[in-house]
Amino acid sequence: MRLEAVELRRIGIPLVAPFETSFGVQLDRDILLVKAITSEGEGWGECVAGEEPTYSPEYVDGAQHVLTNHLLPRLFERDELHAEDVFDLLRPVHGHQMAKAAIEMALLDAQLRARGESFARYFGAVREAVDCGVSVGIHRTVAELLRTVGGFLDQGYRRIKLKIKPGWDIEPVRAVRERYGNVLLQVDANTAYRLADAKLLAELDPFDLLLIEQPMPEDQVLAHAQMAEIVGTPICLDESIHSLQAAADAIELHACRIINIKPGRVGGYLEAQRIHDLCASHSIPVWMGGMLETGVGRAGNVAMAAMANFTLPGDTSASDRYYRRDVITEPFLLHDGRLRVPAGPGLGVALDEERLREVTTSTERITREMSRATTPSR
Ligand code: NPQ
Ligand code: MG
């Protein structure tokens, strides 16, 4: 196919409730949606970069800039383009995995819609619905946390993940374990600890957690292997795993026993698929992370989570975990603690154009003609 134009659409949507992590509080989201207009039809992608570079170095304004000025020109140059070519074509641009992932996703959607194949089928999915977990933010009090967790368990979520930070770790975990018995439970520190905190984190061992996610900063992969000598709970990496190579090295170093896969963090669904396969070959279970996606990103994530080695419940919650009204016509609903894997062509979801208009804050259209006129030849 040929990429004719790309629409970069920014939307602003409120979260149903504030979401606090060790790196900040989120009240609403400013999201970049990418529509690829190709010779074979259209496709959608979602960029998971946040408003500020606090989860990772990427942020949404930067993603839009790098797409416009550095990524799209490299794709417009080609007269014949497949989603499978994008990763290598964009390799000369370092980093910017979330921006790259968004355009690759839109092209994959266009390509699969054109041939009537679902994301799930393309990924070799082995199940028609996926077990759902939910990520629970830091609360002001343990009593409020218990109420929130109880509400999610009533809705049917099959696994609870508690966000932790220094000063909000052992007590909330103890309280949830005591109140809610043997529920599947894990924690996520989003890099908030240091190796010197290993003994403190070992105090979580008695609570039989599935895993502790990214206790230390992303570049401290070796320190995670050292922490694993002191902490009994399995360590899972999120932020550190920015590529297939990073995953291979972390596994070799014994820095983690489990990996959180986020397609946006690794540069796209195709790199995520390679990480899934690598982990499977090393008996490392994986689970699908979440970046507070709209139904667009959620659809791709749920499809990928149906692959064989996604054996732990993911952060792929229902649409209403984050948004009162999603931007797709049929939001993701929990059925007995699971989400159904879309079976229609491509992402298998339709944009709710009316809702989209309501939340759009800006629209930029980049065409191959514009790109020709403004980019130096390579
Ligand atoms: C994680 N997600 O696993 C991330 C962190 C996260 C569901 O816990 C804006 C953009 C806000 C990205 C908040 C979950 C975010 C964000 C949290 C990512 O580490
Ligand atoms: Mg995480």
Q: What is the pLDDT of residue 373?
A: 64
pLDDT at position 376: 57
Between CA 263 and CA 102 the distance in angstroms is 9
Which of 364, 359, 299, 292 lies closest to 327, judged by CA? 359
What is the predicted pLDDT for the residue at 377? 54
To test ligand 1's pocket by mutation, which of 20, 21, 58, 97 has the most ligand atoms within 8 angstroms of CB? 21
Q: What is the pLDDT of residue 216?
A: 98
The b/e string for 202-222 (b: 16+ C-beta within 10 A; e otherwise) is eebeeeebbbbbbbbbbebbe
Proportion of the chain in helix, strand, coil states, percent, rounded to 5:
40, 25, 40
Mean pLDDT over the full length of the chain: 97
pLDDT of 156 reads 98
| Ligand having the closest approach to the CA of 58 | 1
pLDDT of residue 372: 66
How many angstroms does the Cα of residue 41 sit away from the middle of ligand 1? 32
pLDDT category at 371 given cuts 50, 70, 90 is confident
35: tokens are 């529509």
- Asked whether residue 374 carries a pLDDT value surpassing 70, the answer given is no
pLDDT tens-digit map of 65-83? 999 999 999 999 999 999 9
Average pLDDT over residues 162-166: 98
**221 C-alpha to ligand 2 centroid (Å):** 15
pLDDT of 244 reads 98
Q: How far is residue 141's CA from residue 337's CA, in Å, rounded to a whole number?
A: 26
What pLDDT, on the 0 to 100 scale, is given for residue 356?
A: 98
Q: Ligand 1: which atom is nearest the Cα of residue 317?
A: 7
Q: Which ligand is nearest to the CA of 288?
A: 1
Residue 378 has pLDDT above 90, yes or no: no
Other CB atoms within 10 A of residue 87 CB:
18
> What proportion of the chain, given as a percentage, has pLDDT over 70?
98
Of 45, 114, 63, 112, the C-alpha closest to 84 is 112
- Report the residue among 56, 292, 315 best suited for mutation to probe ligand 1: largest number of ligand atoms under 8 A from its CB: 292
Q: Which of 100, 98, 35, 5 is nearest to 367 (CA)?
A: 5
Among candidate residues 54, 14, 84, 23, the one with its CA nearest the CA of residue 271: 84
pTM: 0.97
Instruction: Say which residue the tokens 């060790």 belong to.
Output: 22
158 pairs with which residues across the strands? none
Residues 288-297, mean pLDDT to the nearest whole number? 98
pLDDT for 213-254, tens place per residue?
A: 999 999 999 999 999 999 999 999 999 999 999 999 999 999
Q: Answer yes or no: are the C-beta atoms of 252 and 221 closer than 8 Å.
A: no
C-alpha to C-alpha distance for 81 and 78, rounded to whole angstroms = 6
pLDDT band at 196 (very low <50, low <70, confident <90, very high): very high
Pocket (CB within 6 angstroms of ligand 1): 19, 21, 26, 50, 55, 135, 188, 190, 238, 289-292, 315
Give the ligand 1 atom nearest the CA of 190.
19
What residue type is assigned to position 185 of the chain? L
| Cβ-based neighbours of 306, under 8 Å, separated by 6 or more | 120, 123, 125, 126, 127, 128, 129, 130, 341
Q: How far is the CA of 261 from the centre of ligand 2 (A)?
A: 10
- List residues with catalytic annotation: 163, 262
> Could you tell which of 30, 52, 55 is best to mutate to test the pocket of ligand 1, judged by most ligand atoms within 8 Å of the CB?
55
274 C-alpha to center of ligand 1: Å?
A: 23
The percent of residues in the chain predicted with pLDDT above 90, rounded, is 98
> Residue 236: helix, strand or coil by DSSP?
strand
Tell how far the Cα of 217 is from the centroid of ligand 2, in angstroms. 12
Alpha helices in the chain (DSSP H): 60-66, 72-76, 83-89, 97-115, 119-123, 142-155, 170-180, 198-202, 221-227, 244-252, 269-281, 295-304, 353-359, 368-374
Residue 246, token pair as written in the block = 């990073």
For residue 375, what pLDDT is reported? 61
pLDDT at position 195 is 98
